[in-house]
Amino acid sequence: MTHEIAVIPGDGIGQEVTPAAVEVLEALDVDFEFVEAEAGDAVKEETGEALPQETYDLAASADATLFGAAGETAADVILPLRDAVDSFVNIRPAKAYPGVDAVRPETDLVFLRENTEGVYSGIEDRLTQDVSTLTRVVTESASEDLGEFACEYVEDNSYDGFTIAHKANVMRETDGLFRDTIKRVADENGVETDEVLMDAFATHVCLNPEQFDVIVCPNLAGDVLSDLAAGLVGGLGLLPSANVGPERALFEPVHGTAPDIAGEGVANPAATIISAAMLLEYLGYDEEGQAVHEAVEATLEDGPRTPDLGGDASTEDVTNAIIGRL
Amino acid sequence: MTHEIAVIPGDGIGQEVTPAAVEVLEALDVDFEFVEAEAGDAVKEETGEALPQETYDLAASADATLFGAAGETAADVILPLRDAVDSFVNIRPAKAYPGVDAVRPETDLVFLRENTEGVYSGIEDRLTQDVSTLTRVVTESASEDLGEFACEYVEDNSYDGFTIAHKANVMRETDGLFRDTIKRVADENGVETDEVLMDAFATHVCLNPEQFDVIVCPNLAGDVLSDLAAGLVGGLGLLPSANVGPERALFEPVHGTAPDIAGEGVANPAATIISAAMLLEYLGYDEEGQAVHEAVEATLEDGPRTPDLGGDASTEDVTNAIIGRL
Ligand SMILES: CC(C)[C@H](C(=O)O)[C@@H](O)C(=O)O
Ligand SMILES: CC(C)[C@H](C(=O)O)[C@@H](O)C(=O)O
């Protein structure tokens, strides 16, 4: 069966790393049809719209989407795209690789971030000159979906259980509902859980990252804590992510457009290529996905390396090396 | 003039480190009258109330309060106590000390955390079986107060300016108001600012803590990001904090009750004693405050050290060493 893959390079180094990941996918024996579309600052400049309707529609109908990065318009692009694929969970692995300088080389975490609500509800008001409000929404149904997914995830990937990170000592009703619902779903599925306050997690993950594996958390907590983990493994250059919905999914590196190096052909394609590996696994190409993971890891360890990792190789050199190792 | 100092040891190691800090204050030539009061799990057990009215009233009338820690009831104690002193800013220095193992020894930061609103508004509802909400409140007036304070703070402490950390790309109205108001106040006062998204801050502070000095942020951002910084300097054992209001203030270590070592007499009193140094400075005893800071730093560097820092000294040994160095 042919899978339709939407490819949205976006801005800056998105234009370099996304084609690199497509090249890797094309080197495999998989039946993909790639359809490219625009989003981001550049298309907004031209058309007034950061996310043209046809790009949204493409992501909403393709089997999977590979997205690069967007600049100033990032929130206007990525939040609707997550919605286009109906994504209820953002999977963010944060793993330190041998051969790459890391603040905490023991880090090997996976964040399962709620991807639809919390402070991302978009419900804000300026009530008076003085007072503005945002309605943070937490639903039992979204928490259940995330909990079910987390249970499957830890089973499929042979983890012992997961940790729920929250701030229910302050957000008693909303994060209380989040925590209690996920805990209940885990109990029903016979999956072990523990819990940690998100502030305490921030301290402890710096001191002892090896004490955590899979962390399930609300939307903003997932945003901040996974970026923290990115710092521990040595920057955003290596972090992939998957926005998974019930019928389709969108894959993107966690990094941005890196305007300082955009256009120079030296961007590190690793995060996008690992995101492509997650895309392969999502579509059932487990062996191919595994092969890409291994080829990236071997390349991170033995080179060639782009300048962000202390080397002087180009995006193309690294991509070719990865393809050579498949 | 005699200053009335409320002393609220609370639970766990609060009972050990708070008296240690009082001993240090008593060793100085200052005119303090200490009044002790109860709060926390133990008094809740006895009386049903984690924060008895007389404790609240004492904090609301004393010139300054020194608080230790509370256990399960932490939120029920510390949030009302912050309110009792009308605290609009929580000052959280996070500094790595020579002689103390740190993940990032270059870390030397001060967080100025908004201390009254954001997701700490307490306005939550269960609208339906499925839907719960929390109203996140950001006001221009609270942002102005924090901005004014931040300007004075960077001037008094000879910083070049401050960084505003926020999530205004998603929380456009609320964090937009926060950022714009603080930026306007800084501009009016001729203070330089820059800004960073709170998630990007989490990455960058791990990679290059030396690029930041003073960080001004909303309530929950300050909670999480300062705890992250605590991880970078080697744990919560060393972090002091000040909850400052227009007429009084409350000082507390950032750490908790440490039930695993409570009662053994080996808790590290450093964070509480540094909090006491901030109390001295707050009440105008600048020289005495400075002397306490220096005595703590010398003791962290040359010992004796409590077990959390790899030593085998007791709380009393460390306290005596600090007093000996005054
Ligand atoms: C660009 C922004 C809206 C986005 C988010 O907050 O989710 C980004 O930080 C991310 O983590 O993908
Ligand atoms: C105990 C809790 C309510 C508190 C907070 O969230 O402010 C604590 O984490 C802190 O940072 O002092």
**A307 CB burial (10 A radius; 0-12, 13-18, 19+):** middle
CATH number for the domain spanning A7: value is 3.40.718.10
**Domain assignment of residue B200, yes or no:** yes
Task: Please say if the pLDDT value at position B208 is more than 80.
Answer: yes
| Same-domain pairing of A229 and A245 | no
| Same-domain pairing of A80 and A115 | no
Task: Please say if the pLDDT value at position B143 is more than 90.
Answer: yes
Q: Letter for the amino acid at B102?
A: A
| Same-domain pairing of A142 and A59 | no
The per-residue pLDDT for range A67-108, each reduced to its tens digit, is: 999 999 999 999 999 999 999 999 999 999 988 899 999 999
From the list B139, B231, B234, the residue facing A202 with the nearest CB is B231
Task: Please say if the pLDDT value at position B236 is more than 90.
Answer: no
Task: Please say if the pLDDT value at position A237 is more than 90.
Answer: no
Ligand 2, residues at Cβ distance < 6 Å = A 169-170, 199; B 74-75, 78-79, 223
The answer to whether residue A69 neighbours chain B at the CB level (below 8 Å) is: no
User: For A224-248, what is the mean pLDDT?
Assistant: 93
**Domain assignment of residue B301, yes or no:** yes
Percent of chain B with pLDDT over 90: 96
Task: Please say if the pLDDT value at position A214 is more than 90.
Answer: yes
The per-residue pLDDT for range B241-294, each reduced to its tens digit, is: 999 999 999 999 999 999 999 999 999 999 999 999 999 999 999 999 999 999
- CB neighbour list of residue A1: distance below 8 Å, 6 or more residues apart: A31
Atom of ligand 2 nearest to the CA of B220: 6
| Same-domain pairing of A72 and A169 | no
**Domain assignment of residue B98, yes or no:** no
User: For A290-307, what is the mean pLDDT?
Assistant: 96
| Same-domain pairing of B66 and B11 | yes
Q: Say how many domains are in chain A.
A: 2
Collect all residues of chain B within an 8 Å Cβ-Cβ radius of residue A167.
Answer: 119, 220, 223
The per-residue pLDDT for range A131-180, each reduced to its tens digit, is: 999 999 999 999 999 999 999 999 999 999 999 999 999 999 999 999 99
| Best B41, B111, B130, B132 residue to mutate vs chain A (most A CBs within 10 Å) | B132
| Same-domain pairing of B113 and B229 | yes
User: For B296-315, what is the mean pLDDT?
Assistant: 95
pLDDT tier, B227 (very low <50, low <70, confident <90, very high otherwise): very high
Amino acid B237: pLDDT: 77
Amino acid B79: pLDDT: 97
Domain boundary residue, one of A212, A233, A254: A233
**Domain assignment of residue B14, yes or no:** yes
The answer to whether residue B203 neighbours chain A at the CB level (below 8 Å) is: yes
Amino acid A203: pLDDT: 96
Q: How far is A33 from chain B (nearest CA, A)?
A: 33
Q: Letter for the amino acid at B84?
A: A
Q: CA A278, A212, B210: angle at the middle one, nearest 5?
A: 90
CA B266 to chain centroid, in Å, comes to 22
Task: Please say if the pLDDT value at position B28 is more than 90.
Answer: yes
**Domain assignment of residue B259, yes or no:** yes
User: For A269-277, what is the mean pLDDT?
Assistant: 97
Collect all residues of chain A within an 8 Å Cβ-Cβ radius of residue B169.
Answer: 74-75
Atom of ligand 1 nearest to the CA of B199: 9
User: For B49-75, what is the mean pLDDT?
Assistant: 98
CB contact under 8 A, A205 and B231: yes
The per-residue pLDDT for range A42-62, each reduced to its tens digit, is: 999 999 999 999 999 999 999
Domain boundary residue, one of A233, A257, A272: A233
| Same-domain pairing of A210 and A148 | yes
| Same-domain pairing of B204 and B263 | no
Q: What is the 3-state secondary structure (H, E, C) of chain A?
A: CCEEEEEEEECCCHHHHHHHHHHHHHCCCCCEEEEECCCCHHHHHHHCCCCCHHHHHHHHHCCEEEEEECCCCHHHHHHHHHHHCCCCEEEEEEECCCCCCCCCCCCEEEEEEECCCEHHHCCEEECCCCEEEEEEEEEHHHHHHHHHHHHHHHHHCCCCEEEEEECCCCCCCHHHHHHHHHHHHHHHCCCEEEEEEHHHHHHHHHHCHHHCCEEEECHHHHHHHHHHHHHHHCCHHHCEEEEECCCCEEEEECCCCCCCCCCCCCCCCHHHHHHHHHHHHHCCCHHHHHHHHHHHHHHHHHCCCCHHHCCCCCHHHHHHHHHHCC
User: For A301-323, what is the mean pLDDT?
Assistant: 95
pLDDT tier, B234 (very low <50, low <70, confident <90, very high otherwise): confident
The answer to whether residue A79 neighbours chain B at the CB level (below 8 Å) is: yes
User: For B220-230, what is the mean pLDDT?
Assistant: 97
User: For A322-326, what is the mean pLDDT?
Assistant: 97
Amino acid A93: pLDDT: 97
| Same-domain pairing of A107 and A201 | yes
Task: Please say if the pLDDT value at position B18 is more than 80.
Answer: yes
| Same-domain pairing of B258 and B158 | no
Amino acid A1: pLDDT: 85
Amino acid A39: pLDDT: 98
CA B135 to chain centroid, in Å, comes to 25
**Domain assignment of residue B115, yes or no:** yes
Give me the domain span that covers residue B155.
Answer: 103-233
Amino acid B1: pLDDT: 85
* Parallel, antiparallel or unpaired: strands A131-139 and B131-139: antiparallel
**Domain assignment of residue B47, yes or no:** yes
Amino acid A325: pLDDT: 97
- CB neighbour list of residue A220: distance below 8 Å, 6 or more residues apart: A118, A119, A120, B167, B170
The per-residue pLDDT for range B89-110, each reduced to its tens digit, is: 999 999 999 888 999 999 999 9
Flag whether the pTM goes above 0.95: yes
User: For B58-65, what is the mean pLDDT?
Assistant: 98
Task: Please say if the pLDDT value at position B235 is more than 80.
Answer: no
pLDDT tier, B142 (very low <50, low <70, confident <90, very high otherwise): very high
| Same-domain pairing of B107 and B227 | yes
Domain boundary residue, one of A233, A265, A290: A233
- CB neighbour list of residue B138: distance below 8 Å, 6 or more residues apart: A131, A132, A133, A134, B117, B118, B174, B175, B177, B178, B218
The answer to whether residue B172 neighbours chain A at the CB level (below 8 Å) is: yes
Identify the three-state secondary structure at position B116: coil
How far, in Å, CA of A164 to CA of A183, rounded?
8
The rounded mean pLDDT for chain B is 97
The answer to whether residue A249 neighbours chain B at the CB level (below 8 Å) is: no
**Domain assignment of residue A98, yes or no:** no
Amino acid B57: pLDDT: 98
Residue nearest ligand 2's atom 4 by CA: B75
| Same-domain pairing of A114 and A210 | yes
